[in-house]
């Protein structure tokens, strides 16, 4: 068994007290412990179009090469590695207080970026499901740096 479980069984036994402690621990982990991923709303391209009617920031977290090959016209490129290493002051200067939508090729790296921003205390965060693949499938405009 896991060392923590062994310790709890040894300390509290395996009876009703153990069950109560285990239930309380599960409740704390589930409801109290902050989950950064919960602060991120996954949106599709239709939802993005509605959100984009208001000021927002679209952050493309792909590599500069991927970004140059084709990106949303209003996107800024902040590669995931750079975003993960950036300090809060630098990010605040870039992001401000606008809603943020993160995008990548498929939605995986952008989900990681949005979770990082959530852990830093940003709110109103969105991840575009399907990333640029969904963007292109919806035939939304694309710009290249050629």
Written as one string, the DSSP assignment of 71-112 is B-TT-EE--HHHHHH--HHHHHHHHTTS-EEEE-SSSHHHHH
pLDDT attached to residue 30: 45
At 33, the pLDDT band (50, 70, 90 cuts) reads: very low
Contact assessment for residue 62 and residue 144, using Cβ atoms and an 8 Å cutoff: no
Percent of the chain predicted with pLDDT > 90: 58
- Which residue do the tokens 């309380």 mark? 24
Percent of the chain predicted with pLDDT > 70: 73
Assign domain 36-137 to its CATH superfamily. Answer: Rhodanese-like domain (3.40.250.10)
pLDDT attached to residue 121: 84
Q: How far apart are CA 107 and CA 103, in angstroms?
A: 6
79 pLDDT higher than 60: yes
31 pLDDT higher than 80: no
Catalytic residue among 59, 80, 91, 104: 104
Domain borders along the chain are: 3-32, 36-137
Phi, psi of 99 (to 5 degrees): -60, 145
- Tell me whether residue 102 is one of the annotated catalytic residues: no
């Amino acid at each position: 068994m896991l060392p923590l479980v062994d310790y709890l069984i040894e300390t509290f036994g395996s009876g009703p007290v153990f069950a109560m402690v285990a239930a309380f621990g599960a409740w704390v982990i589930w409801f109290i412990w902050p989950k950064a991923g919960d602060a991120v709303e996954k949106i599709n391209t239709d939802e993005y179009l509605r959100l984009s009617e208001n000021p927002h920031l679209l952050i493309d977290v792909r590599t500069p090469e991927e970004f140059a090959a084709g990106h949303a016209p209003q996107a800024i490129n902040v590669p995931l590695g750079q975003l993960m290493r950036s300090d809060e002051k630098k990010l605040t200067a870039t992001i401000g207080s606008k809603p943020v939508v993160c995008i990548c090729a498929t939605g995986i790296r952008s989900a990681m970026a949005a979770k990082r921003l959530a852990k830093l205390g940003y709110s109103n965060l969105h991840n575009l499901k399907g990333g640029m693949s969904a963007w292109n499938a919806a035939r939304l405009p694309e710009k290249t740096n050629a």
